[in-house]
A and B are shown apart, each in its own frame.
Chain A
């Protein structure tokens, strides 16, 4: 085997080695305790960085930044003061609630787009994918139900290989939004996005959309809108969506 050098040690700490080399470095570290201590400390540094700064990922996005990302940074100056304190979470990108009086009905067209966006923002998170984890499932559904003003239950996808990870509450264009997140044994994640319908939308059949590579199955059931997002293959997505649709409609 090639001699282990300083770069290998860093790559080991950063999990950047292939399997073969990783095992070689591991064996070498077993005989070099001083280097093993250094590598441990570096890994501890990485963990400490995440512990110190990952909370930023969960902060609502300042409206100024969302606007800058949408190319509307130079909005009429009269708005500036009024909106300075308003924050907009990632899912509220519709920007529909710039003023208190301008809440537009959230059209069903926005549902898959907002759901896909919430999916891409939160599903890659390793440390904070959810606000409340599935170990507190009762608390989770009670809390989200209360905030949405409707009785919610997280569908059970166990039979399809997906376990509930937990959920979070997000601000949306038409009020609070609940997001449940599921994960399978291969760490693939799907999210179920639930919000109140505007009241002008009738119960719909299943619809399907692809938003930036994310597949979304969505529907309105009575006064709630649901959207299941993921990128795990069309057949699997369809099976999960069918299960959610059946369980929620009961």
Chain B
């Protein structure tokens, strides 16, 4: 029972990551559901002294990769995802749509690193472990992904600035 309670407590963050990764609420929840089902089946493989959250994200990453190979729906950015409602906030300046659109243009491997580090706040070593790649690969994907986002996001306001009356 305690393991099940632990799984429930991780659902909100798994959903957040899946939503940002797939840009589609229904696909994201499918991914979370598959992750939870797989986790329960494999729970005896999880070492109690290790981080359950990181393990769940590892399972989700593997399922995501499998789907990318088998399901073309995930390979194209989905316009529907851009309509995901967002909480009102102070970020209007940068623009929530801007970051979502810019994120959607990143290669999946860079988007995963950007989200695991920047949104889910995993350490670099944990991120490497989740993705099953060396630390150096994480750092170079992070670096390239962030620079791409920078270019993409700095273009947007520049256009607005040029509007003169």
| A residues at B contact (CB < 8 Å) | 6-7, 10-11, 14, 16, 38, 41-42, 44-59, 61-62, 64-66, 68-71, 73, 90, 93, 113, 117, 120-121, 128, 211-212
Q: How far is the CA of A57 from the CA of B86 in the complex (A)?
A: 11
B15 contact set on A, CB distance < 8 A = 56-57, 59, 61, 65
Whether A49 pairs with B119 at a CB distance below 8 angstroms is yes
Whether B11 pairs with A70 at a CB distance below 8 angstroms is no
Closest to B28 in A: A56
Q: Is the interface of B mostly helix, strand, loop or mixed?
A: helix
Whether B13 pairs with A212 at a CB distance below 8 angstroms is no
Complex interface bits, B54-95 against A, C-beta within 8 A gives 1, otherwise 0: 000000000000000000000000000000011101110010
Q: How far is the CA of A117 from the CA of B9 in the complex (A)?
A: 7
Whether B20 pairs with A90 at a CB distance below 8 angstroms is no
Whether B33 pairs with A57 at a CB distance below 8 angstroms is no
A120 contact set on B, CB distance < 8 A = 9
Q: How far is the CA of A121 from the CA of B15 in the complex (A)?
A: 13
State which of B6, B90, B96, B146 has its C-beta within 8 Å of the C-beta of A52. B96
Q: A49-B115, A69-B7 are in contact. Are A56 and B16 (CB under 8 A)?
A: yes
Whether A38 pairs with B8 at a CB distance below 8 angstroms is no
Q: A66-B8, A69-B7 are in contact. Are A50 and B146 (CB under 8 A)?
A: no
Whether A71 pairs with B40 at a CB distance below 8 angstroms is yes
State which of A57, A65, A113, A211 has its C-beta within 8 Å of the C-beta of B36. A65
A38 contact set on B, CB distance < 8 A = 147, 150
State which of B4, B87, B99 has its C-beta within 8 Å of the C-beta of A45. B99
Q: How far is the CA of A57 from the CA of B119 in the complex (A)?
A: 12
A6 contact set on B, CB distance < 8 A = 139, 143
Q: How far is the CA of A11 from the CA of B123 in the complex (A)?
A: 9
Report the minimal beta-carbon distance from B95 to chain A, rounded to whole angstroms. Answer: 8
Q: How far is the CA of A211 from the CA of B11 in the complex (A)?
A: 18
Report the minimal beta-carbon distance from A51 to chain B, rounded to whole angstroms. Answer: 4
B149 at the interface (CB under 8 A from A): yes
Q: How far is the CA of A118 from the CA of B32 in the complex (A)?
A: 20
State which of B16, B96, B114, B117 has its C-beta within 8 Å of the C-beta of A51. B96
Q: A14-B118, A41-B154, A52-B20 are in contact. Are A61 and B33 (CB under 8 A)?
A: no
